[in-house]
Amino acid sequence: MDKLLIRGGRSLQGEVLVSGAKNAALPELCAALLTAEPVTLLNVPQLQDVSTMLKLIRNMGVAAERADDGTVHINASALSTPEAPYELVKTMRASVLALGPLLARFGEATVSLPGGCAIGSRPVDQHIKGLAAMGAEIVVEHGYMIAKLPAGWKRLKGARITTDMVTVTGTENFLMAAALAEGETVLENAAQEPEISDLAEMLIAMGAKIEGHGTSRIRIQGVDKLHGCTHRVVADRIEAGTFLCAVAATGGNVLLRHGRADHLDAVIEKLREAGATVQAMDGGVRVQSAGGATLKAQGFRTTEYPGFPTDMQAQFMALNCIAQGTATVTETIFENRFMHVNELVRLGAKIQTDGKVAVIEGTPRLSGATVMATDLRASASLVIAGLVADGETVVDRIYHLDRGYDCMEAKLRGIGADIERLKA
Ligand code: UD1
């Protein structure tokens, strides 16, 4: 397994390019299943999760080609096997995003249940409930969701769907299914993440009729056919937020090219309160910071967009570890998302957890050690901690990082970090 070796203590300077968003690219690759015409996605990030999704759709009989410049051509005209097998789903929960489009276009789908994952139990009951409201008959057998239309039905039927909680991939599954359903679907309690809006824009470019994306009520008038399109994947706000935290913590002055400050309001507000300067500018966002103990620790609660993202909790915690004062962080989305805490403590951080709450007491110095990545965002938090720690930090099991960050160590090296990949 590859590792990262980081020699901490350098400030970061220069420019870094923000890639396309993982959490937009994954549903958008699935949206291409909704049409028999060719779809082109631009700005698709080079990530393990994208490779897994390409494998999943190719396994269905879909032609999908990825070029080095981030362009992906998909042609689902020959899709023959509307199935997502356990072997692929188990490595990436987002595979459940195939369910809505397959059901909408083919009237049947067999998708493995994702099972638990490191950060929580993460059930898919809401996905099933919503698609069932549109008429799908779904049984769970042998670890698979087997879905089909009732006898004599040609299409799903529009419905009013109110989920018990806000679910991002759930909202995406319903959007894709409703785009080809008969009649109107109204999604109440819909997720408002920028990736939802980006998916909605892509579907609209394919001929879908959608209103209200970006709010908690989305209306979709189903159409009987969607066509091909070319769509550019929105910039990754979590990657950008991770770099913002890294620069704020180490100190420095970096322009994140293509970064969308307007998608990071909650994080940027906390960074400013901590003492960093963050400026939205044409084509990007600039962060300047004196780093370390010039920062003040900031408490926050993770909530759905536009609140503080759970996907930024671990990275901001790394910053809090070396700031002045004490901060309370409450994780409200996932039940087990503090696995980075013990690893940060190995680097000298002072953190106490009690259930959903972590209390971080800032300390002037972290000291390098070997730590283990446990999930995607936890890995990014350990990288940030390694960048500020004295001496050498080795982050083991970085396959988690490779799932969701496009060339992270090369990008960090480009802005002055002393970081290298140790090949297994
Ligand atoms: C997406 C993101 C992930 C992010 C998360 C929360 C993608 C590919 N992944 O994950 O990076 O951390 O949103 O912002 O976009 N829940 C249920 N039943 C369901 C669905 C969800 O109980 O059927 C619960 C989950 O366990 C969790 C909460 O609802 O506690 C929110 O989960 P959800 O928004 O669905 O997360 P994902 O879409 O899986």
Burial class (CB in 10 A: 0-12, 13-18, 19+), 424: exposed
Buried b (16+ CB within 10 A) or exposed e, 389-399: beeebbbbbbe
Distance from residue 110's CA to the centre of ligand 1 (Å):
21
Known binding positions for UDP-N-acetyl-alpha-D-glucosamine:
93, 122-126, 311, 333
CB of 333 closer than 6 A to ligand 1?
A: yes
Which of ligand 1's atoms lies nearest the C-alpha of 126? 23
Tell me phi and psi for residue 204, to 5 degrees. Answer: -65, -40
Q: What is the mean pLDDT of residues 61-90?
A: 95
CA distance 314 to 384: 10
The answer, yes or no, to whether residue 204 has pLDDT greater than 90, is yes
Query: pLDDT tens digits, residue range 368-422?
Result: 999 998 899 999 999 999 999 999 999 999 999 999 999 999 999 999 999 999 9
Q: Name which residue sits closest to atom 26 of ligand 1, judged by CA.
A: 122
pLDDT classification of 294: cutoffs 50, 70, 90: very high
Token pair, residue 381, equals 């938090």
Helices and strands per DSSP (H, E), number in the chain: 14, 24
Query: pLDDT tens digits, residue range 151-172?
Result: 999 999 999 999 999 999 999 9
Omega prior to 194 cis, within 30 of 0: no
Which of ligand 1's atoms lies nearest the C-alpha of 97? 8
Query: pLDDT tens digits, residue range 86-97?
Result: 999 888 989 999
CB of 192 closer than 6 A to ligand 1?
A: no
Distance from residue 16's CA to the centre of ligand 1 (Å):
29
Question: Which of 95, 165, 375 for a ligand 1 pocket mutation test, highest count of atoms within 8 Å of Cβ?
Answer: 165
CB of 313 closer than 6 A to ligand 1?
A: no
CB of 163 closer than 6 A to ligand 1?
A: no
State the pLDDT at residue 123.
Answer: 87
Which of ligand 1's atoms lies nearest the C-alpha of 238? 11
CB of 120 closer than 6 A to ligand 1?
A: yes
Distance from residue 196's CA to the centre of ligand 1 (Å):
13
Q: What is the mean pLDDT of residues 34-48?
A: 97
Q: Which residues are catalytically annotated? A: 117
Quote the DSSP letter at residue 46. Answer: -
Distance from residue 171's CA to the centre of ligand 1 (Å):
10
CB of 89 closer than 6 A to ligand 1?
A: no
Token pair, residue 122, equals 């993460």
CB 382 within 8 A of CB 340: yes
State the pLDDT at residue 115.
Answer: 66
Q: What is the mean pLDDT of the chain?
A: 96
CA distance 105 to 205: 17
Distance from residue 364's CA to the centre of ligand 1 (Å):
35
CB of 143 closer than 6 A to ligand 1?
A: no
Which of ligand 1's atoms lies nearest the C-alpha of 127? 23
CB of 167 closer than 6 A to ligand 1?
A: yes
Which of ligand 1's atoms lies nearest the C-alpha of 94? 8
Distance from residue 163's CA to the centre of ligand 1 (Å):
12
Q: Is the dihedral of CA 345, 349, 354, 357 positive or negative?
A: negative
